[in-house]
Chain A
Amino acid sequence: MSEPRFEKLAVIGAGTMGIGIAEVFAAGGQDVKVVEISEQVFQNAMSGLKKRLQKRVERGKIRQEFAEKVLKRVRYVPDIRELVDADLVIEAIVEKLDVKQNIFHELAEVTSPNTILASNTSSLSITSIASAARHPERVMGIHFFNPASRMQLVEVVLGAETAPSLAEQVKRWLKELDKEPVIVKDTPGFLVNRIARPFHLEAYRYVQDQIASKEQVDRIMRTAGFRMGPFELQDLIGIDINFAASVSVFEGNFYDARYRPHPLQRQMVEQGAIGRKAGRGHYSYEK
């Protein structure tokens, strides 16, 4: 039996993730349509991509012809109604459930019931996104990490109603695109964001309970082989982003104590000390 190929691809949203995902497809030799709220937003994203590819050409990582091919394969379409014949659509718009549900409802109306509709959500439930769509059995999560072109891991997330056979199909296709896919059931935080929670949350407890200072915790974790300790890593990720992820996994689990965020996290956010991007977080980055 020949496997259905995903030839006609589309990405909704050309933000940080959307344009990166489009790049992955294009670099893998596939054409991809991109839907955005305006052509201007799309063009801005494309010039960003162009700059990044150009840098790689200059560093001798890729050839000029290849960069041009990648750019040519990414095409703007103004309306999701143009995705009628798509095999697979990935949504990468704002992280808001009602907005995503609206898009999935619409997508399900315009595409065929065999079109795979995927969300790149980091923290929302695939099952609740799918509940807004006709034929929820073809709705799933395909969770790329930032930056999508460089991070190999992709979480392939099966919602409660997703057809299990899709997992292996999508996994094989992602492997051809040089990714390392893992298959995970729909639970808050999926695998990475969930299992990494204690790395961040317990760190605050050490500090609050006077078990260790931030510097000590980071030093100890680096000694253990982590590239960065929890505090330096949070400064890089953004303490606001890390706090939001904590809250979302905590709420998603009906306030299970295992995921309880820490008041010091919120305090950092309230002071605006959210990490490198603000010049200060757990450490100071003022010049």
Chain B
Amino acid sequence: MKNEVIVLGTGPLANRMGRFLEERGCQPVRADEKPRSDALALIDITAGMEGEKKTSLLKWEQNLSPDTPVFTSVLHLTATQIASWLQHPHRVVGFSPLFFEKWDRVEVSCPLQAEGDSRFENALSLLAKWGKKAEIVGDEPGLVFPRTLALLVNEAAYCLQEKTASREDIDLAMKKGTNFPQGPLKWADDVGIDQIVAILTGLHRELGDDRYRPASLLRKMYYARYWGKAAGRGFYEYGQMSDPATGEPR
């Protein structure tokens, strides 16, 4: 048994996932196209903002056996929509990759097509084997924690863009005034501005409510690739600017 797990995606989330899998005795496999009919699972970290998610999932599905579970990030899309692309939609499990390696719980969602299908339960037992308790929640972009965090960050970004307060004061206020474990702007830099924007635009598109409209500052930071700590720059500066995917200096 090679215990191979295919990881789709780049950047800090994918790197951390790779290390996590190695610690669990699995072999993360990235970016080659040989059939992997004996792979344990495919884990797709990509948010899917640029359409690359569909192409790579379609390509990879052909290399898997029909029962291999596909864990896919639902920060921007629903598991139901992602499943609709695939030949075997029942194998899809939506999940949140944020702090996946760190927390003992992981939020997952079941695509409509897989409701009542035993393959979903089987997939969760794999998570259990890795020491993760599955918290099954409804299938909407961003699930629960990522959606809440994105909205907190969005409100903080509005405050910053309006010059209601400085970034340091915004973070300090939330930590000291209401016991947030992190200031929202610093937290966003850790998670990645790209992820935050993916969640907000996903919710805005799916639910059509103005509550989810991203602050223009966030949209611009996304375009400028000020994606946070991994990019060297987000709401704060972290030394040199680098490519958030590869870590190469820019």
Flag if B155 contacts A258 (CB, 8 Å).
yes
Chain A residues with CB under 8 Å of B209's CB are 257
A219 on interface, CB distance cutoff 8 Å: yes
Chain A residues with CB under 8 Å of B99's CB are 224
What separation, in Å, do the CA atoms of A183 and B155 have in the docked complex?
A: 17
B170 on interface, CB distance cutoff 8 Å: yes
8 Å CB contact of B135 from A145, A151, A216, A225: A216
- Interface-side segment among A69-77, A185-193, A278-286: A185-193
A241 on interface, CB distance cutoff 8 Å: no
Closest chain B CB from A36 CB (angstroms): 27
Chain A residues with CB under 8 Å of B165's CB are 182-185, 191
- Interface residues on chain A, size class: 35 or more
Q: Chain A residue with minimal CB distance to B149?
A: A224
Flag if A220 contacts B135 (CB, 8 Å).
yes
A15 on interface, CB distance cutoff 8 Å: no
B181 on interface, CB distance cutoff 8 Å: yes
- Interface-side segment among B49-57, B111-119, B139-147: B139-147
B239 on interface, CB distance cutoff 8 Å: no
Flag if A194 contacts B159 (CB, 8 Å).
yes
Closest chain A CB from B99 CB (angstroms): 7
8 Å CB contact of B169 from A183, A194, A256: A183
Flag if B156 contacts A202 (CB, 8 Å).
no
Flag if B180 contacts A260 (CB, 8 Å).
no
What separation, in Å, do the CA atoms of A117 and B135 have in the docked complex?
A: 51
Flag if A191 contacts B159 (CB, 8 Å).
yes
What separation, in Å, do the CA atoms of A217 and B103 have in the docked complex?
A: 15
A252 on interface, CB distance cutoff 8 Å: no
- Interface-side segment among B36-44, B58-66, B171-179: B171-179
A46 on interface, CB distance cutoff 8 Å: no
Give B72-87 as 1s and 0s: 1 = Cβ < 8 Å from A's Cβ atoms.
Answer: 0000000000000000
- Interface-side segment among A60-68, A89-97, A130-138, A206-214: A206-214
What separation, in Å, do the CA atoms of A197 and B159 have in the docked complex?
A: 13
Chain A residues with CB under 8 Å of B166's CB are 183
Closest chain B CB from A118 CB (angstroms): 17
Within 8 A of B (CB), among A223-260: 223-227, 256-258, 260
8 Å CB contact of A202 from B105, B135, B148, B176: B148
Flag if A191 contacts B173 (CB, 8 Å).
yes
Flag if B176 contacts A153 (CB, 8 Å).
yes
Q: A184-B169, A191-B164 are in contact. Are A196 and B178 (CB under 8 A)?
A: yes
Flag if A195 contacts B211 (CB, 8 Å).
no
Flag if B138 contacts A226 (CB, 8 Å).
no
Chain B residues with CB under 8 Å of A145's CB are 177
8 Å CB contact of B170 from A152, A191, A206, A260: A191
Q: Chain A residue with minimal CB distance to B180?
A: A226
B246 on interface, CB distance cutoff 8 Å: no
B127 on interface, CB distance cutoff 8 Å: no
Flag if A195 contacts B105 (CB, 8 Å).
no
Q: A198-B152, A220-B145, A258-B155 are in contact. Are A151 and B176 (CB under 8 A)?
A: yes
What separation, in Å, do the CA atoms of A226 and B209 have in the docked complex?
A: 26
What separation, in Å, do the CA atoms of A180 and B135 have in the docked complex?
A: 37
Within 8 A of A (CB), among B95-133: 99, 103-105, 107
What separation, in Å, do the CA atoms of A198 and B162 have in the docked complex?
A: 18
Closest chain A CB from B101 CB (angstroms): 13
Closest chain B CB from A82 CB (angstroms): 33
Within 8 A of A (CB), among B180-224: 180-182, 184, 209-211, 213
What separation, in Å, do the CA atoms of A183 and B166 have in the docked complex?
A: 8
The 18 listed contacts between A and B (C-beta, < 8 Å) are A151-B177, A152-B176, A153-B176, A187-B162, A191-B159, A191-B169, A191-B170, A192-B174, A196-B178, A199-B148, A211-B140, A211-B144, A212-B137, A220-B135, A221-B145, A221-B148, A226-B181, A258-B213
8 closest A-B pairs by CB = A225-B181, A211-B138, A198-B151, A182-B169, A192-B177, A257-B210, A153-B176, A153-B177
New A-B pairs, 5, CB < 8 Å, besides A211-B144, A224-B181? A153-B172, A199-B152, A202-B151, A223-B105, A258-B155
Chain B residues packing against A (C-beta within 8 Å): 99, 103-105, 107, 135, 137-138, 140, 143-145, 147-149, 151-152, 154-156, 159, 162-166, 169-170, 172-174, 176-182, 184, 209-211, 213
